Amino acid sequence: MRSWPGSRRRPPNWTRRALRPNRGAPQRPRFLIQVVADEADRLSAGEARVTMIVDLRRLRPVLLGLAVAACAPVSNGAGADPLADRSAALVAHAAQADGVLGACIVDRHGAACANGDRPISMQSVMKLLVGMAVLDAVDQGRLTLDDEVLLTRDDVSVFVQPLEKLIGPDGHRTTVGELIRGAITESDSLATDWLIDRLGGTAAVQAYLDRKGIVGVRLDRDERRLQTEIFGLTWSAEFTDPDRLDAAIDAVPPDRREAAFRAYQNDVRDTATPRGLATLLYRLGDGQLLSAGSTRWILDVMGETGTFPDRLRAGTPADWWIGHKTGSSSSWDGVVGVTNDVGVMRAPDGAVIGVVALLANSSAPAPERAAAIAGVSRIAAETHRP
């Protein structure tokens, strides 16, 4: 496995699935073969149809050459569209998923997508965007990664927040850099919401995206407000006590819970199109959105992500590099709102690829949803063209 260029940190050695070899074997013809040249205009001018009966033994060298040519991938041919095979593979893969799979792969050749322009809830994928906006502030000299932070109980957010357990009577001291790391690698909501507040709110993150020309990606709420609204609640400071939050959720009537979940499924807030996110990730990996130092730093951190290794990481070949950010929502009546993973891949030849898999409204079990996402990174590798 290879580290990102310029990085001193080696990406974690997660187990990956190897690419499946093509085990199909052509049957050997005997004695005679009929060669039909149909649509002869593909080879030369004219539309003649030619049928020949030939002795196989005399044309064995020619036939071997034709067989080799027929087995060569079309995408590697001179003048072929490098995105054609990738687009077809993504569309076919998405059609087999339970739910709506928005998938997109972007490299120097362009974008190949399935449901690429459909807005889908990002969930914790948005924590990567927050980290990028903070690093942009670092690049501008408004913050440093070493700035000290004192966390208190007033900073507690909701659900996934490992930092919450570290806050004692005197608080917990950390740094801006460690908060970004926790938000990305552990999906820490407390770290994310503190960083959003430090920037001046979600509008500041959106302003960064707009300034960089990012299209199809919007951030409207912090984790506190997004997650409580999905359960039919309005954020209150009392919910910094996890027990009170759990009690409030349990007290929401089922009809209100269902209405809130249905509203979330159709909400345009905090959504992104797969095409927009994949373009952002390609540009991030290509060094277009942050300084060189900040780009290396955040890619290094993304490579440390430990959440859900059975998603994009599972579909990435062992000799490729990937840094990624996952996202997941709650469910209602057996339907999971979203199961997401997005990342930057690096091929053995050094090519940068942005890859996105957002699976919405699926009732499939977790392993099946993860496999659908892993299939997207596998397609990215299998269809890669320098």
Are the beta carbons of 128 and 323 closer than 8 angstroms? no
Determine the pLDDT at residue 56.
Answer: 36
Judged by DSSP in three states, 310 sits in coil
Closest residue by Cα to residue 206 from 216, 192, 191? 216
d(CA 52, CA 157): 76
Determine the pLDDT at residue 254.
Answer: 96
Q: How buried is 217 (Cβ within 10 angstroms: 0-12 exposed, 13-18 middle, 19+ buried)?
A: buried
Determine the pLDDT at residue 81.
Answer: 81
Closest residue by Cα to residue 238 from 160, 158, 161, 329? 158
Determine the pLDDT at residue 206.
Answer: 99
Give the other-Cβ count within 10 Å of 313's Cβ: 27
Q: How buried is 31 (Cβ within 10 angstroms: 0-12 exposed, 13-18 middle, 19+ buried)?
A: exposed
| Whether domain 84-382 has CATH 3.40.710.10 | yes
Is the pTM here over 0.85, yes or no?
Answer: no
Judged by DSSP in three states, 306 sits in coil
d(CA 207, CA 220): 11
d(CA 168, CA 204): 30
d(CA 338, CA 57): 59
Give strand pairing partners of 336: 331, 362
- Ranges of beta strands (E only) in the chain are 32-37, 50-55, 100-107, 110-114, 120-121, 148-151, 172-175, 271-272, 321-328, 331-332, 335-346, 352-362
Closest residue by Cα to residue 281 from 114, 105, 116? 105
**For the chain, which ranges sit under pLDDT 50?**
1-79
Residue type, 276: G
Q: What are phi and psi of 53, to 5 degrees?
A: -110, 120
Helix (H) or strand (E) holding 145: none
Place of tokens 């074997």: 25
d(CA 89, CA 19): 15
The residues, ordered by sequence, that sit 6+ positions from 303 with a Cβ below 8 Å of its Cβ are 3, 4, 7, 9, 11, 12, 321, 322, 323
Token code pair at residue 323: 């840094």
Determine the pLDDT at residue 82.
Answer: 77
Determine the pLDDT at residue 80.
Answer: 65
pLDDT in tens, 182-224: 999 999 999 999 999 999 999 999 999 999 999 999 999 999 9
Give the other-Cβ count within 10 Å of 350's Cβ: 9
Ordered by start, the domain boundaries in the chain are: 32-72, 84-382
**CA distances (Å), origin 295, targets 7, 215, 222, 359:** 10, 20, 24, 27
d(CA 182, CA 193): 12
Size of the chain, expressed as the number of residues it contains:
386
